[in-house]
Amino acid sequence: MEKIIVRGGRQLNGTVRVEGAKNAVLPVIAASIIASKGKSIIHDVPALADVHTINQVLKHMNVDVNYDNNTVVVDATEDLFTEAPFEYVRKMRASVLVLGPLLARYGHAKVALPGGCAIGSRPIDLHLKGFEAMGASVHVGNGFVEVTTNGRLKGAKIYLDMPSVGATENIMMAAALAKGRTTIENAAKEPEIVDLANYLNKMGARIIGAGTETIKIEGVDTLYGAEHTIIPDRVEAGTFMVAAAITGGNVLIENAEIDHLRSVVSKMEEMGVRIHEEGTGIRVIGPKKLKATDIKTLPHPGFPTDMQSQMMALMLQASGTSVITETVFENRFMHVEEFRRMNAKLKIEGRSVIVEGPGSLQGAEVAATDLRAGAALILAGLVADGMTRVTSLHHIDRGYVDITGKFAQLGADIERVNDDVIMETVTYKQVEVQ
Ligand SMILES: CC(=O)N[C@H]1[C@@H](OP(=O)(O)OP(=O)(O)OC[C@H]2O[C@@H](n3ccc(=O)[nH]c3=O)[C@H](O)[C@@H]2O)O[C@H](CO)[C@@H](O)[C@@H]1O
Ligand SMILES: C=C(OP(=O)(O)O)C(=O)O
């Protein structure tokens, strides 16, 4: 079994570069299939398992996709097959983002139902309500959701019950080719929404207001391939910010956008961490002693749920009682049990976790329950006494490129090993000796 092994006690120092954002690149690659003319060239595409999955989804639909040297070239000008099967959606929920583009271009899309996952039930009802408001019919059966429309979608006024990132993206993509104007109210405001709107506008779409709670989309007849560079990954940047802070280190995080991280910066400063912009990056200097704080996850610009578990690791080292309240997902505390295996003092009370610090964390064998939880366990391992072994690495590989190499470059004692290989080698050596 593959494991990441961390031996705690090293301070992290140096420079690390952040990749293009996973949560921006997935909708952008999905959107590239709306272009019935021309190729799209997408730069700063991270070599993640999720990128591989979305590329596979596109290839399955007869799209010509080439990924080389962090650049994806997409040619979707041939006739496309409008289905995404369960084998891809099972691996990555963001596969549902092909619904909007396919519906807009072909009036038909069929995608396996994503189902729940380790952080919550994650329905897609808001995506579907949006499509229905634009005149589409939705049919759910045999594990699939099928969306169809006779002729072109029609622009509509759509109010989202909550500012869902995926629903905002799917509706924005569908509306780009609809007849007339679509208005999305209570839209998600995440930087990744802005990145997608910028890319769609380069393709010929007419979208204004992305990044605010009202997005207006004037439908056009055709979209064309376009060239685009993906924004930096604010969650990867945030993860390295915590790494610097938790080890009392001094790290320059390059290619990080401080404006995308205001809530994280503000909370970490409250904890005593020094943070400032430096060139195109962020410098983070950890204090000798961290202070406790409280956090509530919220849609952007509130504190991001994708940084909740990493901040929990940081709070475990802070003096006093901290409280984390998770309001975005109903079940995103699976990492609490794993932290407890490392001697963390944590108590779950409804949607909050009470963190008692500073703890004396102990190395243990722990499992990544989702991708951010995996990163958080590595962070805890950086300061734990002894050796921490993190398993279920497929989760981490969805969202982090070479996390082991990047931490090692900053001075961490960390390696990725395959136990099976070690066992085989040991057995072989024993045989030799005998
Ligand atoms: C690929 C990607 O970009 N993933 C991000 C995206 O996920 P995703 O787009 O799935 O997240 P949403 O913003 O849609 O979900 C937020 C909340 O709304 C609920 N909901 C959502 C849609 C819907 O139709 N009905 C409904 O009830 C969800 O169950 C959840 O409780 O935003 C999340 C919230 O910032 C992040 O944690 C994920 O990393
Ligand atoms: C929850 C996340 O991603 P996804 O929506 O792809 O599961 C994440 O990036 O933390």
The 10s digit of each residue's pLDDT in 197-222 is: 999 999 999 999 999 999 999 999 99
Judge whether 427 lies within some domain: no
Pair (168, 266) in one structural domain: no
Confidence band for 116, pLDDT divided at 50, 70 and 90: low
Whether the CB-CB separation of 316 and 339 falls below 8 Å is answered with yes
Total number of domains constituting the chain: 2
Are residues 106 and 179 located together in one domain of the fold?
yes
432 domain residue, yes or no: no
- Residue 433 is assigned to a structural domain of this protein: no
Same domain, yes or no: 184 and 308: no
What confidence category does residue 420 fall into, taking pLDDT thresholds of 50, 70 and 90? confident
Annotated binding site: 22-23, 93, 122-126, 306, 328
The pLDDT, as a whole number, for residue 85 is 87
Number of the ligand closest to the Cα of 158: 1
Using the predicted structure, report yes or no on whether residue 424 has a pLDDT greater than 70.
no
* Bind-site residues for UDP-N-acetyl-alpha-D-glucosamine: 93, 122-126, 306, 328
Out of 205, 229, 253, a domain closes at 229
Task: Read off the pLDDT band of 422 (50, 70, 90).
Answer: low
CB 394 within 8 A of CB 375: no
Q: Which residues have C-beta atoms less than 6 Å from ligand 1?
A: 23, 26, 94, 120, 122-127, 162, 164-167, 188, 192, 305-306, 328-329
Q: What is the CATH number of the domain that holds 110?
A: 3.65.10.10
Give CA–CA dist 246/285, Å, rounded: 10
Q: Which of 117, 298, 354, 417 is catalytic?
A: 117
Whether pLDDT at 433 is above 50: no
Within this chain, do residues 214 and 255 fall inside the same structural domain, yes or no? no
Residue 434 located in a structural domain: no
Is residue 265 located within the same domain as residue 157? no
Substitution candidate for ligand 1 out of 26, 51, 96, 164 with most atoms within 8 A of CB: 164
- Does one domain contain both 222 and 240? no
Examine residue 429 and state whether it is found in any structural domain, yes or no. Answer: no
Domain end marker among 229, 245, 276? 229
Under the banding of pLDDT at 50, 70 and 90, the label for residue 386 is very high
Domain ranges, residue 256 = 2-19+232-421
Task: Please state, as a whole number, how many other Cβ atoms lie within 10 Å of the Cβ of residue 99.
Answer: 29
Spell out where 142-193 has E strands.
144-148, 157-159, 181-185
Distance 371 CA to ligand 2 centre (A): 7
Please give the ipTM for the structure prediction: 0.99
For residue 304, tell me if it sits in a domain: yes
Read off the pLDDT band of 427 (50, 70, 90). Answer: very low
Q: Are residues 360 and 385 in the same domain?
A: yes
Closest CA to 176 of 306, 36, 356: 36
Q: Is the dihedral of CA 369, 375, 380, 381 positive or negative?
A: positive
Domain end among 200, 229, 258 = 229
Q: 17-52: per-residue pLDDT in tens?
A: 999 999 999 999 999 999 999 999 999 999 999 999
Phi and psi at residue 352, in whole multiples of 5°? -120, 155
The answer to the question of residue 389 being in a domain is yes
**Residue with CA nearest ligand 1 atom 3:** 23
User: Is the domain of 289 the same as that of 151?
Assistant: no
Q: Are residues 252 and 215 in the same domain?
A: no
Indicate the pLDDT class of residue 118, thresholds 50, 70 and 90. Answer: confident
In the predicted model, is pLDDT for residue 428 greater than 50? Answer: no
The verdict on 78 and 135 lying in the same domain is yes
Look at residue 29 and tell me if it is in a domain.
yes
307 and 242, same structural domain? yes
Decide if 117 is catalytic: yes
Indicate if 57 and 174 belong to the same structural domain.
Answer: yes
Q: Which of 300, 302, 185 is nearest to 231 (CA)?
A: 300
Mean pLDDT of the chain: 95
Residues 139-195 have pLDDT tens digits of 999 999 999 999 899 999 999 999 999 999 999 999 999 999 999 999 999 999 999
